[in-house]
Amino acid sequence: MHPDLTSAVGAFHAVSRVLLGLLTATTLSAAAQSIPGLPGLGGTKAESAAPAASAPTSADWAARLEVARAEHQALLALPAGSTPLLDQRQIASARRLVLLAARVEALKSKASGDTKADAEAVQIPKLSGQPPYSVLDVDALRDRLDILTTQQSALELGLKQLDVTVDEAVRARSEADANLRRRREQASEAGPAAGDVEELRAQVALAELLSQVMELEVLQNDERRQRARSRLAALAEPVKQLQAEIDRGRSQMRFDDADLARILKGIAADRQKLSAESAKLSERLARHETQAVPPGEGWRRRATEPLQKSLQMLGELETMERGYETLWRGRHEVIAKRPEPGLVQATALKIGKALADLQDQRRRVTEERRLVRSELRTQQALMADLAADDPALKGEEQVLSALQTESEIQDRLRDGIDRATVLLERFRIDMGGTDKPASAEDWALRAWAILAQVATAIWQFELFTATETTQIDGRVITVEHGVTVGKSIGVLVMLALGYWAAGRLSRLLIDLARRRVPMSTQLARVLRRWVNSILLLVVMLLVLKMARIPLTAFAFLGGALAIGIGFGAQNVIKNLISGVIILFERKIRVGDVVSIGGMSGTVTTVDLRATTVRGFDGIDAIVPNSTLLENQISNWSGGSPDVRRTVTVGVAYGSDLRKAAQLILDCAKEHQAVLPEPPAEVLFEEFGANDLTLRLYYWTRLGGPRGGPGVDSDLRFAIADALAAAGIGMAFPQRDVHLDLVKPLQVELLAGGKDA
């Protein structure tokens, strides 16, 4: 084998070992996380080898709690520094104790039936009396429905967070179990003669504590998730019944003058309270202007500004109360008198714009509230640094009180905005009108909002779910990962980026290898393709892992599709494996001259599926890799690029044969393409019918500056001239003499060109 090729293949072997190691580790990690029972997902060796035992009872957990308490007391009794990692073990033991106590209490509550209290506490109010029903009674049902739907939303958001928490807990438990196995292996390999036995034992003990803590974390979070699911399921039917009761009341609703008078009376009372509160706040602000200034700089300005903002917000609340009065009067007009459709539509448009303004106002109040909360924290930190007898403390207390007042009124203003929003939405529903856009700009905004909602729904549409399960103390913990359209598109984008990065990295690696190890262009191209293919497989596994899509998610393809793909890809996989064998076995390499089934040529590439052989006529033949393993192949340059060739010379009877043989041998020695080793020789073949046959055997190197047929031609010219100069005549041999003795390769080489 050529030394360049040997060193290049050696370099490729080094690179491929590293890549295959990375690929194997990634594959095992992904498989361990997607297959229940494997240690990678959180099962210990005992769990993966045998089915889980029955779930422990409450008595078992209580006994476990007592054992944990005893162990914790023993750890606390140890003097500081007496054993390695004592502080960390005490912290982990305390956490285990808290989790075990919570577990025991949860089992007691479950046994006593306390978990059913939430479902039984949901009461469905009904409309009493005969229809039509008062609008106030229907609004009371709506308030109850708002409470239940808010609870539903909170539970749904909490469930999403709990799913993430359980997933993280399962992963943390898997890591803790893996750490425990490593610590035990290190301790067992160290042996009793090791100098750090105490340290190793402490590490094993800490790892055992952490593993138990992570196990209890998984159980606790899964219990919370199950309770949240139960509560959410218990709310579904009450919400449905309550909505039906509200629909029944809205279809037969009345709003008489007595109800309106009662509502307006309440609004007037609220306005009077706000006026009185504004007057008190004004007096407080005036006192800030007149009282003596205590020591300190700038406290008056910092206290006055929040009070002024509070007074302004009280004015906004009074304006909102007047808006409530107008709103209720309009609602009374609509329900009691049923105005014309045109007026209903105009009112609906005004309500839509008012709702948009309220949303903007709520966002503004929310941002101001966040700012005031930040100022409150800063002021509290400032006062914490002051001594009790500091003269500046009194002024800072005034600032803190003003900020607290501002924060409280901001909360009331936000609640008032929410109340006004609810009233406007109910008013629009009661009218039964539509708030159709009035201009092209409104139509464009409405269309854009609809498109955004549709796009969001499509992006978040869940195609299917991938489920991972693990068992802890007989309890099956399930973690579900939804595969959405957005996640799938993200995977495709990451795969595209990974494909580009793999191509760039493979080129950089091969360019670096070519600078360090000489190799041909064809070999470099083959190595780059193989490295790129390995990198692409690694990229695919990493992208699926980053997107949290386990390999088991593709089990939905089904058996029939898998069988069809198996049969269809049978030849492809066979050729792929054959290519791997050819590359690592190195029986056939780039640059070898081979004979395959009736054609001969030079191997130019060895790809994943097929090998390219360029014939001596310049035509490329695509040969499947499996053919190179299943059929007999002649590799004429596999062990050495040197090949033996022959030239036949027929001299006339009566000629000096020994002189003729010497002349022929001298011609061979003088030619530059004839190798000196092994030496050329001339043999007297036979007495022919018309000549005495001499055959020249010589060795030349394939791929040299002069091809085999060219060397033969040069030798024949030289032999003819030498024999003619010596007066040795050449006979006229028959045309078919010795043709049956020529080897197949020689026929190909004689018919070939300079590429032989």
Residues in the chain: 756
- Single-letter residue type at 180: L
- Using the CB atoms, write b or e for 295-309: b if 16+ within 10 Å: ebeebbebbbebbeb
pLDDT (tens digit per residue) in 676-720: 888 888 888 888 878 888 888 888 876 666 667 778 888 888 888
Domains 581-635 and 642-751 share a fold: no
What HEC string does 36-54 produce? CCCHHHCCCHHHHHCCCCC
Task: Answer whether 375's CB lies under 8 Å from 276's CB.
Answer: no
Q: Exposure of 618 by Cβ count < 10 A (0-12 exposed, 13-18 middle, 19+ buried)?
A: exposed
Task: Answer whether 141's CB lies under 8 Å from 242's CB.
Answer: yes
Task: Answer whether 647's CB lies under 8 Å from 749's CB.
Answer: no
Cα separation, 123 vs 127, whole angstroms: 13
Tally the C-alpha atoms within 13 A of residue 71's C-alpha that lie toward its C-beta.
Answer: 20
Cα separation, 457 vs 446, whole angstroms: 17
Q: Give domain limits for the chain.
A: 55-249, 255-436, 581-635, 642-751
Distance of CA 313 to the CA centre of its chain: 48
Indicate the pTM of the whole model.
0.54
pLDDT (tens digit per residue) in 173-223: 889 999 999 988 888 877 665 557 788 888 899 999 999 999 899 988 888
Match domain 642-751 to its CATH number in 3.30.70.100, 3.40.50.410, 3.40.640.10, 2.60.40.10. 3.30.70.100
Query: DSSP letters along 316-358, please?
Result: HHHHHHHHHHHHHHHHHHHHHH---HHHHHHHHHHHHHHHHHH
Task: Answer whether 183's CB lies under 8 Å from 207's CB.
Answer: yes
Token pair 């190909």 is at which residue? 748
- Single-letter residue type at 2: H
Cα separation, 619 vs 542, whole angstroms: 41
| DSSP H helical ranges for 478-569 | 485-516, 521-546, 558-568
Give strand pairing partners of 603: 613
How would CATH label the architecture of 581-635?
A: Roll (2.30)
Cα separation, 398 vs 523, whole angstroms: 82
- Residues with pLDDT less than 70, the chain: 1-55, 112-122, 191-195, 289-298, 339-343, 345, 432-442, 445-446, 449, 464-481, 522, 547-569, 637-641, 702-707, 732-756
Cα separation, 319 vs 357, whole angstroms: 14
Token pair 């043999």 is at which residue? 683
Neighbour count for residue 271 (Cβ, 10 Å):
17
Cα separation, 281 vs 115, whole angstroms: 48
Please give the structure tokens belonging to residue 502: 């793999």
What per-residue confidence (pLDDT) applies to 735? Answer: 44
What per-residue confidence (pLDDT) applies to 171? Answer: 87
* DSSP label of 739: G
Give strand pairing partners of 483: 464
- Single-letter residue type at 310: S
Helical axes 393-431 vs 299-337, angle rounded to 10°: 10
Cβ neighbours for 265, distance < 8 A, ≥ 6 positions apart: none
Phi, psi angle pair for 183, to nearest 5°: -65, -40
Pick the closest to residue 176 from 209, 211, 208 (CA basis). Answer: 211
Cα separation, 497 vs 446, whole angstroms: 36
Q: Containing H/E element for 244?
A: helix 197-251
CA distances from residue 588 to 552, 627, 733 in whole angstroms, order as listed: 39, 12, 40
